[in-house]
Amino acid sequence: MDSHGGPRFHLREGLRARGRRPARVKGEEEEEEEEEEEEEMSQALCDAPSAQGDLRYIKLVSGHSIPSVGLGTWKSASSEASHSVYTAITEAGYRHVDTAPLYAIQEEVGRGLQAALQAGIPRNDLFITSKLWCTDLSPDRVRNALKQTLKELQLEYLDLYLIHWPFHLKEGATRPPRASDILDFDMEGVWREMEKLVKDGLVRDIGVSNFTSKKLNKLLQCAQIMPSVCQMEMHPGWRNDKILEACKNNGIHVTAYSPLGSSRSDRDLIHDPTVVTVSKKLNKTPGQVLLKWGLQRGTSVIPKSTNADRIKGNIQLFGWAIPQEDLEALNSIRDQRRTVSGEETFVNKSEGPYKSVAELWDDEV
């Protein structure tokens, strides 16, 4: 079985087999120390699940490690994105940045990354995620889409490449799409091309986003390289337990997107009474409580902010914990619903193949 053969894949083999790129040539001793550190880290994950909310890195099925806190970039203004990426990395200590071509700011994110690299941060210390957009969801378009993303980000490789949404849109599709705008999605063919990107060293890990357990099962039937990560909306207002459980059962790490409840005015988790009560009790900000809730469930979190103070505050998540009774209070927040349902992008009630949000999510609510 190759490096992605399953959750029991050994880290030491993983680092060798997947060709971890050192920032500089390391001596044998240094390399061994690093391996020992990473083994200790993964041991902590296995031995003390209660401490998982305090891990700065989480081991993936591939053997690589994902930083547990990353900077989201959706809706970052193009005038701010570059500076916030730079600030997050060089001043706040973020090592993980999440972006996508859909956000139309990859060039700005790339400039922020370049500035951070020039300031002395080794590329190997960073974990950069981007995504394959729906119009490129056919086998013949995968490689070019990745190359365009690498060009915009000014990078030679990505740490993680995700299928953004499992719907294949025709180029120039109307929004919301009509039936003729949604094309057949050759999941196996697309995945095979993504696997080739891993083999060619252009991408270290591959994964999915906005999948249901039904679609995940379909992918697992044909995957030769396991998806390392599934990125899903998750916060106390949308716990999304079903997919979290499905991923855990398959050794797939989950990244919680919109961990603060996103910026929708109809869902203000930052001012939710339970979140506010817990934050006052723990002397933390509501944002920190929401993010720590995500970490204590074993997920990584990718809060978006372009405000320097909030960027810094959002990674102050280590060395403290939400006690069990407060976790339970957060876990009992009612009115569970998605804020990023896909409705505006994919549902066309009169002319679409997807006439409701439930259809998009295979009725998994």
Q: Which is nearer to ligand NAP, 39 or 213 (CB)?
A: 213
**Burial tier of 99 (Cβ tally within 10 Å: 0-12, 13-18, 19+):** buried
> Torsions phi, psi of 232, nearest 5?
-140, 155
Q: Is 130 helix (H, G, I), strand (E, B) or coil?
A: strand
Marked catalytic residue, from 103, 161, 257, 354: 103
Least gap, CB of 299 to ligand NAP (angstroms): 12
Q: Which is nearer to ligand NAP, 45 or 270 (CB)?
A: 270
Dihedral sign (CA 1, 136, 360, 231): positive
Number of residues written out for the chain: 365
Q: Which is nearer to ligand NAP, 31 or 268 (CB)?
A: 268
Least gap, CB of 316 to ligand NAP (angstroms): 10
Q: At what angle do helices 187-199 and 142-153 cross, to 10 degrees?
A: 50
- Scan for tokens 């990107």, then name that residue: 197
- Residue 103 is a catalytic residue: yes
Give the binding site for ligand NAP (CB under 6 A): 72-75, 98, 164, 209-210, 231, 257-263, 270, 285, 287, 302-307, 310, 313-314, 340
Q: Which is nearer to ligand NAP, 53 or 72 (CB)?
A: 72
Q: Which is nearer to ligand NAP, 224 or 307 (CB)?
A: 307
3-state secondary structure 220-247: HHHCCCCCCEEEEECECCECCHHHHHHH
Least gap, CB of 96 to ligand NAP (angstroms): 10
Least gap, CB of 245 to ligand NAP (angstroms): 19
Least gap, CB of 323 to ligand NAP (angstroms): 21
Q: Which residues contact 104 (CB under 8 A, 6 or more apart)?
A: 78
Q: How far apart are CA 260 and CA 233, in angstroms?
A: 10
Catalytic residues, by residue number, are 103
